[in-house]
Structure 1
Amino acid sequence: MKITVIGAGAIGGNLAAKLSTAGHDVRVADARGREAVAAEVLESGARAVPLEESVQGSDVIVLSIPFGVAGQLADLFASVPEETVVIDTANYYPGMLSEPIEAVDNGQVESVYTAEQLGRPVVKAWNAALAGTQRTRGVPAGTPGRIAIPVAGDSEEARKLAMSLVDDTGFDPYDAGTLADSWRQQPNSPAYCTELTLDELPAALAAADRAKDARVRDSLPERFAALGADPTVDDVVEMNRAAHR
């Protein structure tokens, strides 16, 4: 499958490498230029390309860019065929990783906002797992205790395609329903970055509470600071789990 990953940071770079290793034809682009793509990503077989050349001829485009900037790519996507599946991995952290966005603060679901800004449908995937989890804890299908990742989108066909790619990166995909329901996998819900299995994930999604989860998200700086210097992936996962006990 021909896949473009836009964004060569911790999530995008990892996905480009994982999907290339899984046998896909992967191009990776970054607004900072081809030099922003790390050497280890290219060692997997992925190819760095200019942003303006990245989207044509792709079956799937993975957006791994800061939340709130998708609108800047609307012109780039204007010529992308409707059948191309676009996957959004971003999360909203107002005042921390992005400027406050009134529509989202007033209740609009994150990826619904992104779809509107981009001018086309998106699927939400890979947002609910830490970069360290994605980089180091993917395992083959059928492995006991395999971590599950929720996937939401309005098109059943697009959702299933995204789920197959999640499987390719080493995680059990879970069908989380429509994009309007993807608030259940937003920061900092019980399903968000808590490394749950396929058996555990449905209950966590069902337990999501938009008001509480937003308060937990906004308390992240204080909770993270309490972990001390150089927290491990396990430390962060436990912090996220503890917030919902």
Structure 2
Amino acid sequence: MEIGIIGSGNIGSALAGYLTALGHQVSIANSRGPESLGEIAAKTGAEATTSVQAASARDLVILAIPQKAMIKLPIDVLAASNAIVLDAGNYYPSRDGKITEIENGLTDSEWTAKVIGHPVIKAFNNIVAPSLAEKAVPTGSSNRIALSVAGDDAEQKQVVIKLIDEIGFDAIDGGLLSESWRQQPGEPAYCQDLNKSKLKAALEEADISKRAENLAAADEMARPYL
């Protein structure tokens, strides 16, 4: 596949390395420009590009950036794209500022889809970066970590689920994008390195009446690192 990654932090860089190793044509961009990506390009084999070029990838565009940066994306390019757009980010109010529509009930990825004018698939957000970088194992391994994939397009979710399996993790269907709050910060499924059955149970355990409370607790815990 032709894949563009916007965001060169721990998640974006790890995915660039995995996907290039799998034989995909991968470009990676950040807000500082391709000249800042020489080391990452050399390490991962991905091509350093601009955000516009990464957003123009034919098959898959991965957004691995803070919520506050979504409004700075090349929205016209993304809105017109025929690619799957995957949101790997998480909303942290202390970093991103209060976003009223999310505070009033939208999931962070529903908000992202609205901002960029394109449907999104939510994945790679419920795993900590060191686990993503270090804990990929072959299909069938007993210690495989599972990731949740949420979205409204079943075919696109299956593409992402297959890709996650090839990278070295199990994946489960996490439901519609409106249900993706179940895999967001503070919820039982968030960053726990769970297997398939335990991840499914954690998603079901999530209580929407505690969503705001759980996010606030997670935000407070993460504040020193954001």
| TM-score, structure 2 normalization | 0.91
Shift of 1:53: 2.2
Q: Is the 8 A contact 2:2 2:26 kept in 1?
A: yes
Amino acid across the alignment from 2:80: S
The 5 A counterparts of 1:116-155 are: 116-155=114-153
Structure 2 match to 1:77: 78
Structure 1 distance, partners of 2:5, 2:35, is 15
Q: Kindly report which structure 2 residues correspond to 1:1-245, keeping only aligned pairs within 5 A, or say none.
A: 1-37=1-37, 39-73=39-73, 74-81=75-82, 84-95=83-94, 97-220=95-218, 223=221
**Given that residues 8 and 36 in structure 1 are in contact (C-alpha distance below 8 angstroms), is that contact kept between their aligned partners in structure 2?**
no
Instruction: Give the aligned residue type for 1:76.
Output: V
What's the CA shift string for 1:59-105, capped at 9, x where partnerless?
A: 00001111143233212324323xx100000101111x211101111
Provide closer, same or farther for how the CA distance between residues 135 and 192 of structure 1 changes in structure 2, counting only shifts above 3 A: same
Structure 1: 4+ residue segments shifted above 3 A: 220-226
How big is each residue's C-alpha offset from its partner over 1:159-215, in whole Å with a ceiling of 9 and x where there is no partner?
Answer: 111111211221101111111111111111100001100111111000112343432
Q: Distance in 2 between matches of 1:222 and 1:102?
A: 18
1:108, distance to aligned residue in structure 2 (A): 0.9
Distance in 2 (CA, whole Å) between partners of 1:191 and 1:151 is: 12
Q: Specify whether residues 34 and 201 from structure 1 end up closer, same or farther in structure 2 by C-alpha distance, changes over 3 A only.
A: same
State how far apart, in whole Å, the 2-side matches of 1:225 and 1:3 are: 32
2-side partners of 1:224 and 1:181: how far apart?
A: 23
- How large is the RMSD of aligned CA atoms in angstroms? 2.1
Task: Report the TM-score, using the length of structure 1 for normalisation.
Answer: 0.85
What is the count of residue pairs matched by the alignment?
Answer: 224
Identify the structure with the greater helix proportion.
2
Measured in 1, the distance between the counterparts of 2:222 and 2:177 equals: 29
Task: Tell me, in whole angstroms, the C-alpha distance in 2 between the residues paired with 1:47 and 1:2.
Answer: 11
Contact 1:147 1:172 in 2 (8 A): yes
SS state at 2:144 partner: coil
1:237 maps to: none
1-structure distance, mates of 2:60, 2:157 = 12
Larger mean CA deviation between 48-57 and 33-42 belongs to: 33-42
Find the aligned partners of 1:223 and 1:119 in 2 and give their Cα distance: 32
Residue type of the alignment partner of 1:77: L
